[in-house]
Amino acid sequence: MTATWLSGTKIAKEIRESLRPEIERLTKAGVQPGLAVVLVGDDPASQVYVNKKAKTCLELGMHSEVYRLPAETEEAELLGLIDRLNRDDRIHGILVQLPLPKHIKEKNVIDAIHPSKDVDGFHPVNVGNLAIGDDCLLPCTPAGVIEMLKRGGIEIAGKHAVVVGRSNIVGKPVALLLLREHATVTITHSRTPDLASITRQADILVVAAGKPELIDRTYVKPGAVVVDVGIHRREDGTLCGDVKADDVAETAGVLTPVPGGVGPMTIVMLMKNTVEAAGRALASGKAG
Ligand code: NDP
């Protein structure tokens, strides 16, 4: 069996194009969707992500602001910037690129972003609303995974979904979203004994372990849908995921590639969230 590749690049492009009319409508109404991205320090991977986000904003005709702060920036200064952005009507989404330097408490920063501008979906109010099934801004990578499955024509309801990883940014929220789509969900993590015996039960396997090529074909049920969230740079400069792609492609029914899988979906969901936040600002009378 050879898996079908589910391209995030292609689906992300479709979603990006579908956002254009709404961006035009909002801009004409005086609320051009605006995203502020804040980067503290000079982590090379973060620089790449921030540049990609700003570029996508501009390509879509959105307003983009990028704040590059030195690594030694004090937490109070960062919180001051967030406070200003919270009150800035031109900005509908605020994203602080993680990880932050050690001396800044990530929680304080996430908590400081107004929930209505929390386009990363990490604020406790949005996380809580996701858990109870209320309307909220969804975290981008997990939302991208679900959107990819849906647009790829993959049935989620009634399926057994196994998630590898329980982080707040991927594992837990993707599990909640799969549950919301009526899957039967199992969450696994580093203390799960005999991981393969559980992942082999999955109709849909979402891997977000942060371990290069952890999952080979012995972990996968024949015909399963495998979503690889991981992204790693090998020593030779090439990229790989948490899944040993060539090997798993022999067993899986559907597999997402790395690169070109979940990565592009994450960025487009960020744009979607910003457009949504702008739409809500317009509806509530807060024009830019
Ligand atoms: P974290 O390191 O925060 O979490 C990893 C999770 O995997 C933890 O819950 C950990 O368990 C679990 N885990 C680690 N090793 C194993 C193992 N051997 N067996 C089972 N579970 C294991 O990572 P993130 O969730 O932030 O990210 C996961 C991956 O996704 C990374 O490669 C990251 O780069 C990538 N990523 C990609 C994005 C994209 O846009 N494509 C966006 C965000 C992340 P425990 O809790 O017990 O420690």
**ipTM for the whole complex:** 0.99
The conformation of residue 243, written as its DSSP 8-state character, comes to B
Q: If you count DSSP H runs as helices and E runs as strands, how many of each does the chain have, helices first?
A: 10, 11
Mutate to test the pocket of ligand 1, among 110, 166, 206 (most ligand atoms within 8 A of CB): 166
Residue identifier of the C-alpha nearest atom 8 of ligand 1: 165
- Calpha distance 230→242 (Å, rounded): 5
CA of 127 to the centre of ligand 1 (A): 18
**Is 26 in contact with 275 (CB distance < 8 Å)?**
yes
- Run of H or E including 35: strand 34-40
Q: What is the pLDDT of residue 111?
A: 98
Residue 287: its pLDDT value, please?
53
Helix (H, G, I), strand (E, B) or coil at 6: coil
pLDDT of the chain, 288 residues: tens digit per residue: 699 999 999 999 999 999 999 999 999 999 999 999 999 999 999 999 999 999 999 999 999 999 999 999 999 999 999 999 999 999 999 999 999 999 999 999 999 999 999 999 999 999 999 999 999 999 999 999 999 999 999 999 999 999 999 999 999 999 999 999 999 999 999 999 999 999 999 999 999 999 999 999 999 999 999 999 999 999 999 999 999 999 999 999 999 999 999 999 999 999 999 999 999 999 998 655
pLDDT for the residue 225: 98
Q: Whose CA is nearest to atom 4 of ligand 1?
A: 167
* DSSP H or E stretch at residue 54: helix 44-59
Please list, in sequence order, all residues whose beta carbon lies within 8 angstroms of the beta carbon of residue 48, skipping any fewer than 6 positions away: none
Look up the CATH superfamily of 30-114.
Leucine Dehydrogenase, chain A, domain 1 (3.40.50.10860)
Q: Is the C-alpha dihedral spanning 154, 159, 162, 163 positive or negative?
A: positive
Instruction: Give start and end residues of each alpha helix (H) in 152-219.
Output: 171-180, 195-199
165 Cβ closer than 6 Å to some ligand 1 atom: yes
Query: Which CATH number among 3.40.50.720, 1.20.1260.10, 3.40.50.11030, 3.50.50.60 corresponds to the domain 140-263?
Result: 3.40.50.720
Q: Do domains 30-114 and 140-263 have the same CATH topology?
A: yes
Euclidean distance between CA atoms 41 and 103, whole angstroms: 12
* Candidate from 231, 244, 269 with most ligand 1 atoms within 8 A of CB, to mutate: 231
CA of 165 relative to ligand 1 center, distance in Å: 5
Q: Is 166 annotated as a binding residue?
A: yes
Rounded to the nearest angstrom, the distance between the alpha carbon of 53 and the centre of ligand 1 is: 22
The answer to whether 137 and 162 have CB atoms below 8 angstroms apart is no
pLDDT at 286: 61
Is residue 276 within 8 Å of 23, Cβ to Cβ? no
Stated pTM of the model: 0.97
For residues 87 and 89, give the distance between their C-alpha atoms in angstroms, rounded to a whole number: 6
Please calculate the CA angle 230-177-266 and round it to the nearest 5 degrees.
40
Domain chopping of the chain, boundaries:
30-114, 140-263
Q: 259 preceded by cis ω (within 30°)? A: yes
As annotated, the active-site residues are 53, 97, 120
Q: What is the pLDDT of residue 285?
A: 84
DSSP 27: H
